[in-house]
């Protein structure tokens, strides 16, 4: 039986040094929250931000409490730590090992050895086996090593594109169609899918460009991404909409399942629907569409 679908349509970065943002995130309709100790926090505020996130997630000071603790359920909770070479990385990882998190997000991962190093550290720190490791792919080296990174450990749960840093390192132009990034986006997506990992698209920095954001979400959804990382709460609803099945897609999925089931009972391996041939692979995709619908309904009912 396939594993239940985990919604990751909208995954919001929450600055670890901003108490107001940490509080507000409890009521936002994002599928996931990335508590950020890296880019969103100045060097002199790193230690205080770590303390603030720990207090928000486990206000009674209890480690490994239920993930509902802190009032963030049912959102997926991820901590972006600082680089392991930085003065704060190891302390961040040690905190992550005892907090009620779903995953730890490593920045600027460029090789599989970095994954194995982090996995070994988490193990030595007593992290529970269900704590996943996510990797930011945000440099040319990271993109070229994405397949090795995706295969590096069973603890690896997701690849996250860092499109802002990648654009800079490529000396690429920021274009509405994101054509300069399409090769990198596709390579990371291929690596993730080849090894059964979730893959999330990068952030959209222009908060005034609602049309451009919606277009980027549609493009990512069409490519096959699970969702998009966000920098502001106003981006949550458009991302949720873009990565949710449309009414037309839901209706077609139901027609495919009904028709294929009928054909299979008659000993046929394929059926024609709306002028197109439908085979077993289309049945699998249709079932995934309806599983997404069920997961969204469960999320909205919570």
pTM over 0.85: yes
Q: What confidence category does residue 92 fall into, taking pLDDT thresholds of 50, 70 and 90?
A: very high
- pLDDT of 160-198, one tens digit each? 999 999 999 999 999 999 999 999 999 999 999 999 999
Mean pLDDT of 97-120: 97
> Is CATH 3.40.462.10 correct for 10-242?
no
Q: What percent of the chain has pLDDT over 90?
A: 83
Chain-centroid distance, C-alpha 151: 17
Place of tokens 């059926």: 271
Task: Write down the pLDDT at residue 2.
Answer: 53
For residue 67, what pLDDT is reported? 44
Local confidence band at 65 (pLDDT 50, 70, 90 cut-offs): very low
The model's confidence at residue 66, banded by pLDDT at 50, 70 and 90, is: very low
Q: Work out the pLDDT band at 1, boundaries 50, 70, 90.
A: very low
Nearest CA-CA partner of 63 in 54, 74, 76: 54
The pLDDT tens digits for 194-205 are 999 999 999 999
For residue 219, the SS3 value is helix
C-beta atoms surrounding 69 within 10 Å: 16
CA dist 79 and 273 (Å) reads 45
* pLDDT for the residue numbered 126: 96
**Residue 69: pLDDT above 70?**
no
Assign 8 to helix, strand or coil.
coil
pLDDT band at residue 270 under the 50/70/90 scheme: confident
């Amino acid at each position: 039986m396939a594993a239940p679908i985990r919604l990751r349509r909208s995954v919001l970065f929450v600055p670890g040094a901003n108490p107001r943002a940490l509080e507000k995130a409890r009521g936002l309709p994002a599928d996931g929250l990335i508590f950020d100790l890296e880019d969103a926090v100045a060097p002199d505020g790193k230690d205080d931000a770590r303390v603030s996130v720990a207090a928000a997630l486990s206000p009674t000071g209890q480690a490994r409490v239920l993930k509902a603790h802190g009032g963030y359920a049912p959102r997926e909770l991820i901590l972006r730590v600082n680089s392991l070479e930085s003065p704060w990385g190891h302390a961040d990882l040690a905190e992550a090992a005892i907090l009620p998190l779903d995953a730890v997000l490593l920045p600027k991962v460029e090789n599989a050895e970095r994954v194995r190093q982090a996995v070994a550290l988490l193990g030595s720190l007593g992290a529970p086996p269900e704590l996943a490791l996510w990797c930011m792919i945000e440099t040319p080296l990271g993109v070229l090593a994405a397949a090795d990174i995706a295969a590096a450990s069973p603890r690896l749960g997701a690849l996250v594109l860092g499109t802002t840093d990648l654009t800079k390192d490529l000396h690429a132009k920021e274009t509405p169609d994101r054509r300069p990034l399409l090769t990198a986006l596709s390579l990371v997506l291929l690596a993730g899918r080849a090894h059964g990992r979730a893959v999330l698209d990068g952030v959209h920095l222009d908060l005034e460009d609602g049309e451009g954001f919606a277009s980027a979400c549609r493009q990512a959804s069409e490519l096959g991404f699970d969702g998009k990382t966000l920098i502001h709460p106003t981006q949550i609803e458009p991302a949720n909409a873009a990565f949710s099945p449309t009414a037309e897609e839901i209706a077609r999925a139901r027609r495919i399942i009904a028709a294929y089931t009928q054909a299979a009972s008659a000993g046929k391996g394929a059926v024609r629907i709306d002028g197109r041939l439908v085979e077993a692979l289309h049945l699998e995709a249709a079932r995934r569409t309806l599983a997404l619908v069920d997961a969204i309904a469960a999320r909205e009912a919570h």
